[in-house]
Structure formats: structure tokens, C-alpha cells
Amino acid sequence: MKKIEAIIRKSKFSIVKKALHEVGVNFFSYWDVTGLGNEKEGHVYRGVSYSTSDIQRRYLSIVVNDDYEEVTIKAILEAASTGDVGDGKIFVSNIEECYRIRTREKGEQTLK
């Protein structure tokens, strides 16, 4: 099993969610987060300077069976990309075990 964590633009969330549903990933958790990016200078809008160092993003946490890893990553990459700096990151890690609390099952069948 793999845990896929993605930090994406909030404006891309609905597109990413739809893309994940289309490849069969129907359960995941998400949070609104604030992060710091590489962009150091602010922007000026109508004469007022705004800091862009604090970036509003959405953080997705998805656990999938190994056979869903590549399609999940591909769906996020395609749906979240704008081609501009700040599109986000994807992190992949191994999950040792998973338990379904209700039935006490364990292993990959708990994700189905």
C-alpha cells in the first residue's frame, strides 16, 4: 500500500477530485493549509503591496493499493498542473498495514 500526499492549488481541487474519481480513487482526506514558497517578492494590486510568501493550498492524503499508485499520481499531475511556479508537490511513502475499525479486517482489502 502507498500513501500519496499532494499539495495543490486550491483552485485546482475540484478538477483533481474529479480526476481521482474517474480513476477509481473515491476516498481521501484533505485540509486547507498555508505554506511558504520560493517566491520572495510581493505583488502590487491597485497600488497596494501584498505578500505572496504565505500561500494558500489544499493538502490531500490518499492511501491506495500498490496497483493504484501510478494512475493516482498521473491523475493528480494532469489535473493540478498549470505549468506555473507553485503548482505543488506529490510525496509517496509506504504503508506497512491498514485496519478497518468496524470489522477488524487488515491488509489491502480494507481499502476496497
62-103, pLDDT tens digit by residue?
A: 999 999 999 999 999 999 999 988 889 999 999 999 999 999
Strands (DSSP E) contained in 1-112 are 2-9, 29-36, 43-45, 48-50, 54-64, 88-94
Show the DSSP H helices in the chain as ranges.
13-22, 69-80
Would you state the pLDDT for residue 27? 93
Would you state the pLDDT for residue 6? 98
Give the Cα separation of 17 and 27 in Å (integer): 10
Which pTM does this prediction carry?
0.84
What CATH number was assigned to the domain covering residues 2-32+59-111?
3.30.70.120
